Amino acid sequence: MISFSVLASGFVAGMLLSVAPGPAATAVLTSTRESLGAAFKTIFQIFAADVLVTAGCLALYHPLSRIAGYPAVQIGAGSFLVIFSIYSFWKHSQDCVLPSPKSAFHLTLFNPGVWLSMITVIALLIDPEGSAIWFLALFALAFELGVFVWYLLLILVATRFSDRIHSLVMKLAFATIAVMGVLVVVRTAVHLT
């Protein structure tokens, strides 16, 4: 039976982890300035690389699922989310040179943050026991749909916001990711006592 909560979690995780202002997001924003077609081409490049990352992480799912139950791994994963959000918040406040949208595929595929985020999501959100291949594929599809929807919203909505509103939305997303990480660490620590 398909667990709606896991699929919904995959979708939300895909959206939230895509909000961070990394190289891919800045490539989307850069391409939006060129044309709507260029922006969609950039999203397709990011999506193609992200599918490869997700497939690679799912191929390593069973070894990862064995260690996901260890408290140290859960605390590490939660800490990663907190550090990820703090770093993203800091990068957001910096004036960074925007990368070329033509390199969005490579920026996504070779970004260790993308790999670590996906491994963390799988370890935190998927039941490590008895998950069938079709279930893992549906989770990956839900995650990738969340990624796609975020970038679509970024093109269609967020680029129309003023810089101040856009900055506020980004900061709220970072805060949400940090809260998720803190909750994982606290939940694990409570179960240890």
Q: What is the pLDDT of residue 16?
A: 84
pLDDT in tens, the chain (193 residues): 557 777 888 898 888 888 766 667 777 776 776 778 888 898 999 989 988 988 888 887 767 666 666 788 778 877 877 887 787 777 766 655 444 556 889 878 887 667 777 777 777 777 545 667 777 778 888 988 998 998 888 888 766 767 777 677 667 767 777 887 888 789 888 888 7
- Delimit the domains of the chain by residue range: 4-192
Contacts from 74-77 at CB under 8 Å and sequence distance 24+? Answer: 74/123, 74/124, 74/184, 74/185, 74/187, 74/188, 75/184, 75/185, 75/188, 75/189, 77/120, 77/123, 77/124, 77/181, 77/184
State the Cα angle at 183 between 181 and 185, rounded to 5°: 70
